[in-house]
A and B are shown apart, each in its own frame.
Chain A
């Protein structure tokens, strides 16, 4: 019984981290699917979302507003607006001018943008870790008294459910709405979509904006869940999320979710049963293994090479 509870706990931990990775991974996978470039600055957009959310929350607290739903909604909206604006600006400044060139050029541009944004926030807000208030507290406890008790906190449930909801909304959007259809068309064939009258520039900007908005949601959720933020934590999270996106098949949105969950659970299990020190090694090792046997990722479409 103990072992089962321990296993379930680590599984829950893993699924929660995994959902977080998935939310951020969507941004990577959408951008790659549509213009074929890795947006290294996406992790920083997530970080900016978290900072904006904290600023909003602290601002509301100073004004004396204490009702939780209002705080959350205002913080969420503020974070989404600022992140989306940032995503839009980054695309216009750093990626649009170099679109179509050899794939390394936008990559370097993205890395440069990532360094720039990290230092921008560092200079503006200082480098120390700032605590995020735990707005959603408490949870369920299962298990016999006195022995190992499994706990499922409300925050964990919130993260997981929010991710599912976002995924569902996004999938509906992509499959039902006009812009969604345009997105799919552009990701299939940019030139053709242009010929058919779709404003590809606008669609590409929209992709960045959607990805950034989702990253902002992740920023608020994870800030509350973990407890502190600093200017550099976006980079590591971004790298993990990118790994998740590739694992699941880059370009595929359900792939991002699957990849995120697999990565989260594998990290959690390694940490729980082996040692926390090597969990990154296992994650990357898993990635290499999967790519060896399925080079385009788990749910990725096999790339047919046309001569």
Chain B
């Protein structure tokens, strides 16, 4: 009974694979899995925006190995259960390359399925260290880890010789991770940490936190998290007459913070990847986004763009669409991308990723600090 059932299953899978291969003859499917709805849909928007733009531009330049890229989009609502369903659906649809997921809690269970079924996954936003610590061959990241960004921020702050520093985070994977990294760096440098506290992402009222910061009498406040909360904190801080300098990671370095914080965003320190504004090629890219009415400064737009670009370049380098060979090509190559030079190590993390400290201005522009 079992063997004949197994034969049936193999036959069915083979026919699915053949159909998928039939697709591959004319086009390459790139799955994009992220939250289209739900509480973090605004970050999912960034992911889809960046990935779609990349696919458009690559197709306009002749595609990959003569074939067009086709985007296949899935909504996982940043819910681990749905992420698993999405991963299964991806497998059924015969998609072999995925840009996603966004939330670490979705990426982790989904990557189990991708690794099992031989699907290459590049995540543009998940920062949980565990994702690349399991010895998987087909998992890659285009986002810098906390271990790269934290020391940059911490060292800069320490170089300013502050008396006391407060560290706030949003209790989520990314925010708490980077806040911890900064705290550890500062502790090593002997800076006094006045408080290390978390706020709930999605809350609007930070008046008690601001009062507490006022009383703590610190020179700097480091915030680990994204722009919606920091924007509100900045605004409410200015209203309460708290004028310490704030610093945040790349998650806060985008124009969204200006619409919320207004004048209060002036003087905010942010760590960002440097190649953002410095290369001419990026200028064209930024203009392409703005022509479509989309904002390229969100933290995951360019990382998603880069993810698609890397997939395309990997396929070209390996001269095949077999995910294992593409993975090998990615690990053995060095690529120029909008987020900088990308080289991968064995685990699928980028070997090094540069971050530079910028000062943010109330008109949305930024200048690097020296």
- Using Cβ atoms and an 8 Å threshold, which residues of chain B touch A267? 208
Tell me the residues in window 206-235 of chain B with beta carbons closer than 8 Å to chain A beta carbons. Answer: 207-209, 211-212, 214-215, 217, 227-228, 231-232, 235
Q: Which of A2, A134, A155 contacts B262 (CB 8 A)?
A: A134
Q: A295: CB under 8 A from chain B?
A: no
Tell which of B45, B207, B215, B228 has the most Cβ of chain A within 10 Å: B207
A153 pairs with B240, CB closer than 8 A:
yes
B202 pairs with A228, CB closer than 8 A:
no
B259 pairs with A130, CB closer than 8 A:
yes
B37 pairs with A230, CB closer than 8 A:
no
Provide the main secondary structure of the chain B interface: helix
With A129-B256, A227-B235, A277-B197 given, is the CB distance from A151 to B208 under 8 Å? no
Nearest A residue to B233 via CB reads A227
Cα–Cα, bound, A127→B39 (Å): 8
B208 pairs with A13, CB closer than 8 A:
yes
Interface string of A82-122 (1 = CB under 8 A from B): 00000000000000000000000000000000000001001
Cα–Cα, bound, A10→B206 (Å): 11
- Using Cβ atoms and an 8 Å threshold, which residues of chain B touch A139? 239
A256 shortest CB reach to chain B, Å:
19
B214 pairs with A271, CB closer than 8 A:
no
A134 pairs with B240, CB closer than 8 A:
no
Q: B200: CB under 8 A from chain A?
A: yes
A233 pairs with B204, CB closer than 8 A:
yes
B212 pairs with A151, CB closer than 8 A:
no
- Using Cβ atoms and an 8 Å threshold, which residues of chain A touch B239? 134, 137, 139, 151, 153, 155
Query: Which range holds the interface residue count of chain B?
Result: 35 or more
- Using Cβ atoms and an 8 Å threshold, which residues of chain A touch B197? 275-277
Interface string of A1-45 (1 = CB under 8 A from B): 010001001100110110000000000000000000000000000
Q: B260: CB under 8 A from chain A?
A: yes
Q: B322: CB under 8 A from chain A?
A: no
B212 pairs with A271, CB closer than 8 A:
yes
Instruction: Name 19 A/B residue pairs within 8 A (Cβ), A-sorted.
Output: A6-B211, A17-B207, A127-B45, A128-B256, A129-B228, A130-B259, A131-B231, A139-B239, A148-B214, A151-B239, A222-B204, A227-B204, A227-B232, A227-B261, A228-B260, A271-B208, A276-B212, A277-B171, A277-B198
Q: Top 3 nearest A-B pairs by Cβ distance? A: A271-B208, A131-B259, A127-B41
Supplied contacts A127-B41, A129-B256, A131-B262, 14 more A-B pairs, CB within 8 Å: A2-B215, A10-B208, A13-B207, A127-B42, A127-B45, A128-B45, A227-B232, A233-B202, A267-B208, A268-B208, A275-B198, A276-B200, A277-B198, A280-B200
